[in-house]
Amino acid sequence: HLSSSSETFKPKRVMVIGGDGYCGWATALHLSNKGYEVAILDNLVRRHIDEQLGIHSLTPISSIHVRAKRWAQLTNKHIPLFIGDICDFEFLSEAFKAFEPEAVVHFGEQRSAPYSMIDRGRAVYTQHNNVIGTLNALFAIKEFSEGQCHLVKLGTMGEYGTPNIDIEEGYITITHNGRTDTLPYPKQASSFYHLSKVHDSHNIAFACKAWGLRATDLNQGVVYGVRTEETAMHEELCNRLDYDGVFGTALNRFCVQAAVGHPLTVYGKGGQTRGYLDIRDTVQCVELAIANPAKSSEFRVFNQFTEQFSVNDLARLVTIAGKKAGLEVQTTSVPNPRVEAEEHYYNAKHTKLMELGLEPHLLSDSLLDSLLNFAMQYKDRVDMSQIMPAVSWKAISAKPKAAPT
């Protein structure tokens, strides 16, 4: 029987929703390696979106079935697969009843800000998929685990935007007209994707309060890197690495751009500052959140990143690392396709995961060298036409776009 105190509740069975994706695949293997019983639930929509947009991972990736078979063959650990959509409540219910998870890690969302800004249809898809999927996960937890299963939900640092004051971890204590309260930190997201995470956070907070659920919102910064201990064990376990203008994220893109001799694409003035973390720390943070669950009725928020960089900082670091690798790295200023502050204050707290024992892999020369080498190894797979950004925040319209061109 599950107890309500976090000291005695040590979950073993973890369902990884979105376990075929970049963060989810690395995390599923890591948890499996650490002795958790892991199941993956994924509807493979990300692979489908890649096909629709004509984009692909830098690295060749095996099917989820081949991946799971290879993992079982190498480690003798079996990861059951539930292939389906969390927006389909009947499917989700059957998966919950079959696996009886004690923790659910939810990565299964449409996670690209540019994708959500292509056209109305993609904006609506993003918010429907993310908000309804998370609501279904909340209902499944209430219905099938008597509210005991711990929800570990991937949020984003982008929920906070770039306020001109320090960013706290989820809550801020405010004194107003002589009275003081601790309130949810103000949210100022800047894409329909980032806003979907804000809506999720509100729904989860309410479910914790109303039904006594336990949840942790991991407001993750931008992830970089590709190899983790487990995915490096065999080429069929290799993780995806997105470099295109829709799904590729800043540092990963810059390394691939440097490898193929494309100028680094700094949007606007390049002062946009964000929190960043190594994918090896993503898996560690999720493990820490699961091993130290939230209490019943608690809605915990952790800011999940290890260092802050501006886009210009990243371009400088990749230029230096490129030089060492014998590459001539140029930078170009691209008119910013987004609507965002290009010069701003940014100071975000990130102590709660450190207090739980996170040992960060800070961005070092050696990581940049190995990421660059990795990108150089696969550079023949790069489609140069997919590098420049083609989605404009201002040009979004109700008219469906075949592809962002």
Residues lying near ligand NAD in the complex (CB under 6 A) are found at 18, 20-24, 42-46, 85-87, 107-111, 129, 133, 154, 156, 220, 222-223, 249
Angstrom distance (rounded) from CA 174 to CA 187 = 15
Residue 256's binding partner among ligand NAD, ligand USQ, none (Cβ under 5 to 8 angstroms by kind) is none
Which residue, 134 or 296, is less far from ligand USQ as judged by CB?
A: 134
Which residue, 9 or 61, is less far from ligand NAD as judged by CB?
A: 61
Residue 217 parent element (H or E): strand 214-220
What is the smallest separation between the CB atom of 81 and ligand NAD, expressed in angstroms?
A: 12
Angstrom distance (rounded) from CA 135 to CA 139 = 6
Residue 45's binding partner among ligand USQ, ligand NAD, none (Cβ under 5 to 8 angstroms by kind) is ligand NAD
Catalytic residue among 27, 59, 134, 156: 156
Measured in degrees and rounded to the nearest 5, phi and psi for residue 202 equal: -65, -45
Do 104 and 15 contact (CB within 8 A), yes or no?
Answer: yes
Residues lying near ligand USQ in the complex (CB under 6 A): 111-113, 156-158, 194, 221-222, 249-250, 253, 265-267, 272, 274-275, 311, 338, 340
Which residue, 193 or 378, is less far from ligand NAD as judged by CB?
A: 193
Reply yes or no on whether 197 is catalytic. yes
What is the smallest separation between the CB atom of 319 and ligand NAD, expressed in angstroms?
A: 22
Reply yes or no on whether 175 is catalytic. no
Which residue, 148 or 249, is less far from ligand USQ as judged by CB?
A: 249
What is the smallest separation between the CB atom of 246 and ligand NAD, expressed in angstroms?
A: 11
Identify which of 105, 80, 83, 79 has the alpha carbon closest to the alpha carbon of residue 92: 83
Catalytic residue among 36, 115, 160, 193: 193
Angstrom distance (rounded) from CA 226 to CA 61 = 12
What is the smallest separation between the CB atom of 218 and ligand NAD, expressed in angstroms?
A: 8
Catalytic residue among 185, 197, 228, 352: 197
Sheet holding 299-304, edge to edge: 81-83, 37-42, 13-17, 103-106, 150-156, 214-220, 299-304
Let me know the angle formed at the C-alpha of 263 by 260 and 267, rounded to the nearest 5 degrees. Answer: 130
Angstrom distance (rounded) from CA 225 to CA 33 = 20
Reply yes or no on whether 405 is catalytic. no
What is the smallest separation between the CB atom of 2 and ligand NAD, expressed in angstroms?
A: 25
Q: Spell out the alpha helix ranges (H) of 152-277.
A: 192-211, 250-260
Angstrom distance (rounded) from CA 120 to CA 135 = 22
Give the catalytic positions in this structure: 156, 193, 197
